[in-house]
């Protein structure tokens, strides 16, 4: 029997901090996870949970006053990303690992034609001018942009939001990277355009064999686009599972709260006439500041099930199912779960 | 017709053929092209559609924050577009607007208490200690608590700032609130808190909402009726349950099927609508949706004239000539 292949990306004990006026903010606090070659992994959580800083850390894009702690480990394709010098990490960015941001208007340069910007990625990694231009137009065509040769000569402001996001995807994929990190890639888009972009990403990934780390707060997008999900809260991973297991049996009270808070189309279908819909389940309170993570379980102040152990003992990631872990003492003492009654 | 002769009371808000055009570099932009609807007191009408469909302009034109080019707005029998400046100011007290990003509307050097107090003073509703008391009561009503009165906007989270926006709107005791994407910048757990708050306030104060949103799942939770807008026009209008159960317009069906479903075992979305909405400077002839319409019944007739919004079944209006 052979050992399973090493994952494409292996993150271990990643800790990223920021010096702030209020003290040291531990935005990412000991995060470990893998992404396999060609795999689509979702990273979900609310603002301030550390998901975007995790993404920036992977590409070493954290700038002072932020810093990645020594002791963190990011292994990619067998190499240690944190050991690379500035030149070497630049060769990885855009070529082996690339990133798609939420707001293409701010990520694109307004004074250069979009085709040049895609071509520039190829040039930066050693491609010739002519080859770069051809690959740029071909990549724009693959992203479904009509008349790609014409569009390549246009400026970002001449394109719609959906077109601009296609250009961003072309820039991210033109070097056929092994891993794409997409940070809220569809959040700024209309729902119809979001559906187009998610389909496009899935189609291109299937063709090119690209792995995806999809960062989003939208569990609907996660359900449609990923096979494994990591839930973050207060700088930590609180739950990780295959996507079907997570939605079928979420374990952590935070994950359960997130799922219950999602408004659903069926809410209206179920209502009769003008009758009021039931209240949405909300999670009381808000995420604590990263300068002062509470001791014990960081979610306990918002948790209906919390008991004294949750204040005394920081929960480890318990195994609660096949490839399914949860950072909650309920795994140890399931009888203590308080199920909120429907109001 | 006398009031006693009809079972349904007159609507609080009646909008007829509302239009707003802007002269831009590329020609005239028809942001709103003839919008009509009624909104009964205590109800919530949601205006939904993609960016650029005219939903925000419609809300602002009703409040005369932008001056409509044409049309009629009746509020509790008042001809709003006919009001002079003084009467408009007095009427505005009965109506308020809640924005997507309350941070942009808050003065960073002003405390939360002072921001909420402003409306009371502008409209001479309370002064001195009475005003202080009202401010604290409002902060409690929106779930912030009195302790927030002395704090500054930058100390607050997005959800807390939206509660401040709601408290400011409530300060003048309005009857009608235009909620313009009030929860779309918020995280899902906080979004649920704010939606619940808006619904509690509606129940307790008998408020009427025009709820502008692009998120059909959020709308499913708050609306009594839904108007779907496309390129400046209402293309479908129905009671919420009816619209979500049996949408008529191909555009509405496409919008609904594009909403990501938080269930990995569910079938992937059906119709993915191709392309972007066309430009409001040069709307296509006939039905404005026909270039993107996936309906097999589409033919040359769809390009000939703008389909009227017709009542296809009781209370359910749609603008499609292929729909009997």
Total number of domains constituting chain B: 1
Say whether both A196 and A244 belong to one domain: no
How many Cα atoms sit within 13 Å of B147 on the Cβ side?
5
Strand order in the sheet with A318-321: A97-100, A179-183, A211-216, A40-44, A228-233, A236-242, A324-326, A318-321
Across-strand partners of B28? B23
- The answer for B 299-318 residues in CB contact with A (under 8 A) is none
Interface test with A, best of B264, B267, B277 (most A CBs within 10 A): B264
In a domain? residue B262: no
pLDDT score for B7: 53
As a whole number of angstroms, the distance between CA B252 and CA B248 comes to 7
In a domain? residue A246: yes
All residues of chain B having their beta carbon less than 8 Å from the beta carbon of residue A192 are 50, 254-255, 258, 272-273
Predicted-complex ipTM score: 0.83
Token pair belonging to A240? 């990780």
| Size of the A and B interface in Cβ pairs below 8 Å | 153
Mean pLDDT of all residues in B5-24: 84
The pTM (predicted TM-score) of the whole model is 0.89
CB-nearest to B189 from A163, A279, A283 is: A283
All residues of chain A having their beta carbon less than 8 Å from the beta carbon of residue B157 are 286
In a domain? residue B166: yes
In a domain? residue A273: no
Total number of domains constituting chain A: 2
pLDDT score for A2: 59
Say whether both A192 and A318 belong to one domain: no
E strand spans, chain B: 13-24, 27-39, 44-48, 70-75, 78-79, 95-98, 176-180, 208-213, 225-230, 233-239, 310-313, 316-318
Round the CA-based radius of gyration of chain A to a whole number and report it: 22
Query: Do residue B220 and residue A194 have CB atoms under 8 angstroms apart?
Result: no
Closest-CA residue of A relative to B262 is A220
In a domain? residue A272: no
Q: Does residue A1 register a pLDDT over 60?
A: no
Phi, psi of B47 (to 5 degrees): -105, 115
Q: Does residue B3 register a pLDDT over 50?
A: no
Identify the band that residue A189 occupies on the pLDDT scale cut at 50, 70 and 90: confident
Interface test with B, best of A145, A191, A264 (most B CBs within 10 A): A191
B272 touches chain A (CB under 8 A): yes
Say whether both A87 and A173 belong to one domain: yes
Say whether both A189 and A261 belong to one domain: no
All residues of chain A having their beta carbon less than 8 Å from the beta carbon of residue B189 are 46, 257-258, 261, 282-283
CB-nearest to A223 from B257, B258, B260 is: B260
Instruction: Render the burial of A237-259: b for 16+ CB within 10 Å, e for the rest.
Output: bbbbbbbebbbeebbbbbbbbbb
Mean pLDDT of all residues in A76-100: 93
Identify the band that residue A340 occupies on the pLDDT scale cut at 50, 70 and 90: low
DSSP assigned state of B4: G
In a domain? residue B118: yes
pLDDT score for A343: 43
- Which span out of A180-194, B112-126, B227-241 was modeled with the highest average pLDDT? B227-241
In a domain? residue A342: no
Domain that holds residue A139: 9-226
Phi, psi of A149 (to 5 degrees): -65, -35
B154 touches chain A (CB under 8 A): no
pLDDT score for A271: 63
Q: What's the distance, CA B138 to chain centroid?
A: 23
Say whether both A286 and A168 belong to one domain: no
Mean pLDDT of all residues in A23-41: 96
Query: Which one has a higher pLDDT value, A287 or B309?
Result: B309
CB-nearest to A271 from B160, B216, B240 is: B240
As a whole number of angstroms, the distance between CA A218 and CA A224 comes to 10
In a domain? residue B154: yes
All residues of chain A having their beta carbon less than 8 Å from the beta carbon of residue B221 are 263, 267-268, 277, 280
Average pLDDT over all residues of chain B? 90
Say whether both A317 and A188 belong to one domain: no
DSSP A195-220: HHHHHHHHHHHHHHT-EEEEEES-HH
Query: Do residue B220 and residue A277 have CB atoms under 8 angstroms apart?
Result: yes
Token pair belonging to A43? 């990273």
Domain that holds residue B141: 108-173
DSSP B147-170: GGGG--GGGS-HHHHHHHHHHHHH
In a domain? residue B115: yes
In a domain? residue B167: yes
In a domain? residue A219: yes
Give the pLDDT confidence of A132-168 residue by residue, as tens digits: 999 999 999 999 888 899 999 999 999 888 889 899 9
Say whether both A30 and A171 belong to one domain: yes
CB-nearest to B195 from A222, A270, A280 is: A280
Cis peptide before A65 (omega within 30 of 0): yes
Say whether both A217 and A255 belong to one domain: no
Token pair belonging to B19? 């239009």
CATH number of the domain to which A19 belongs: 3.40.50.300
All residues of chain A having their beta carbon less than 8 Å from the beta carbon of residue B240 are 268, 271
B87 touches chain A (CB under 8 A): no
Closest-CA residue of B relative to A161 is B276
Alpha helices in B98-213 (DSSP H): 112-122, 128-141, 158-171, 188-205
Say whether both A67 and A139 belong to one domain: yes
Closest-CA residue of A relative to B245 is A269
Say whether both A155 and A262 belong to one domain: no
All residues of chain B having their beta carbon less than 8 Å from the beta carbon of residue A217 are 187-188
Q: Are B221 and B195 in contact (CB under 8 A)?
A: yes
Give the pLDDT confidence of B277-304 residue by residue, as tens digits: 777 778 888 999 999 898 899 999 999 9
Q: How many CB atoms lie within 10 A of CB A177?
A: 20
Say whether both A116 and A176 belong to one domain: yes
In a domain? residue B76: no
- Rounded to 5, what percent of chain B is helix, strand, coil? 35, 25, 40
Say whether both A141 and A43 belong to one domain: yes
As a whole number of angstroms, the distance between CA A185 and CA A165 comes to 8
Give the pLDDT confidence of B62-89 residue by residue, as tens digits: 999 999 999 999 999 999 999 999 999 9
pLDDT score for A182: 94
All residues of chain A having their beta carbon less than 8 Å from the beta carbon of residue B220 are 263-269, 277
CB-nearest to B258 from A194, A219, A263 is: A194
pLDDT score for B207: 97
All residues of chain A having their beta carbon less than 8 Å from the beta carbon of residue B268 are 224
In a domain? residue B91: no
Share of chain A above pLDDT 70, in %: 95
Query: Which one has a higher pLDDT value, A96 or B5?
Result: A96
């Amino acid at each position: 029997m052979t050992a399973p292949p090493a994952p494409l990306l292996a993150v271990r004990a990643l800790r990223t901090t920021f010096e702030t006026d209020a003290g040291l903010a531990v935005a990412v606090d000991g995060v470990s996870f893998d992404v396999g070659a060609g795999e689509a992994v979702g990273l979900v959580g609310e603002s301030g949970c550390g998901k975007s800083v995790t993404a920036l850390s992977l590409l070493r894009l954290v700038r002072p006053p932020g810093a990645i702690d020594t002791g963190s480990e990011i292994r990619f394709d067998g190499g240690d990303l944190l050991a690379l010098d500035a030149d070497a990490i630049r060769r990885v960015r855009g070529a082996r690992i690339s990133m798609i941001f939420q707001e293409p208007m701010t990520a694109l340069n307004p004074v250069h034609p979009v085709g040049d910007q895609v071509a520039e990625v190829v040039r930066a990694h050693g491609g010739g001018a002519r080859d770069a231009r051809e690959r740029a137009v071909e990549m724009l065509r693959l992203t479904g942009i009509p008349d790609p040769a014409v569009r390549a000569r246009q400026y970002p402001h001449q394109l719609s939001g959906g077109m601009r996001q296609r250009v961003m995807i072309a820039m991210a994929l033109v070097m056929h990277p092994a891993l794409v990190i997409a940070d809220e890639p569809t959040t700024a888009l209309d729902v119809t355009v979001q559906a187009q972009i998610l389909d496009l990403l899935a189609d291109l990934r299937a063709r090119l064999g690209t792995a995806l780390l999809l960062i989003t707060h939208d569990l609907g997008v996660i359900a449609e686009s990923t096979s494994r999900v990591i839930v973050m809260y207060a700088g930590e991973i609180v739950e990780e599972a295959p996507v079907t297991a997570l939605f079928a049996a979420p374990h952590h009270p935070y994950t359960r709260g997130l799922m219950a808070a999602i408004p659903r189309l069926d809410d209206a279908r179920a209502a009769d006439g003008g009758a009021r819909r039931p209240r949405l389940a909300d999670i009381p309170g808000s995420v604590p500041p990263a300068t002062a993570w509470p001791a014990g379980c960081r979610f306990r102040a918002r948790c209906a099930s919390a008991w004294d152990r949750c204040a005394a003992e920081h929960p480890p990631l318990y195994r609660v199912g096949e490839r399914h872990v949860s950072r909650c003492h309920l795994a140890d003492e399931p009888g203590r779960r308080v199920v909120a009654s429907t109001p | 017709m006398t009031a006693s002769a009809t079972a349904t009371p007159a609507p609080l808000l009646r909008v007829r053929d509302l239009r707003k055009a802007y002269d831009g570099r590329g020609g005239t932009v028809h942001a709103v092209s003839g919008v009509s609807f009624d909104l009964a007191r205590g109800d919530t009408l949601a205006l939904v559609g993609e960016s650029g469909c005219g939903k925000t302009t419609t809300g602002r034109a009703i409040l005369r924050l932008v001056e409509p080019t044409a049309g009629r707005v009746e509020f509790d029998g008042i001809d709003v577009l006919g009001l002079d400046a003084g009467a408009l100011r007095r009427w505005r007290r009965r109506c308020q607007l809640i924005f997507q990003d309350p941070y942009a509307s808050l003065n960073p050097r002003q405390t939360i208490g002072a921001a909420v107090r402003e409306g009371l003073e502008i409209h001479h509703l309370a002064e001195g200690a009475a005003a202080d008391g009202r401010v604290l009561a409002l902060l409690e009503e929106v779930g912030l608590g009195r302790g927030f009165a002395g704090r500054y906007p930058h100390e607050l989270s997005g959800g807390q700032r939206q509660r401040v926006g709601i408290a400011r709107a409530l300060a003048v005791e309005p009857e009608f609130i235009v909620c313009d994407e009030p929860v779309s910048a918020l995280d899902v757990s906080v979004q649920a808190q704010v939606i619940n708050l808006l619904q509690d306030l509606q129940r307790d104060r008998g408020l009427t909402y025009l709820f502008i949103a692009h998120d059909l799942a959020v709308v499913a939770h708050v609306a009594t009726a839904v108007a779907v807008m496309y390129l400046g026009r209402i293309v479908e209008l129905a009671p919420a349950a009816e619209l979500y159960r049996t949408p008529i317009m191909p555009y509405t069906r496409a919008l609904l099927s594009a909403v990501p479903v938080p269930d990995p075992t569910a079938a992937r979305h059906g119709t993915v609508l191709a392309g972007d909405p066309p430009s409001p400077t040069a709307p296509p002839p006939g039905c404005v949706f026909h270039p993107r319409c996936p309906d097999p019944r589409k033919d040359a007739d769809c390009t000939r004239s703008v389909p009227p919004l017709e009542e296809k079944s009781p209370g359910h209006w749609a603008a499609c000539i292929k729909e009997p």
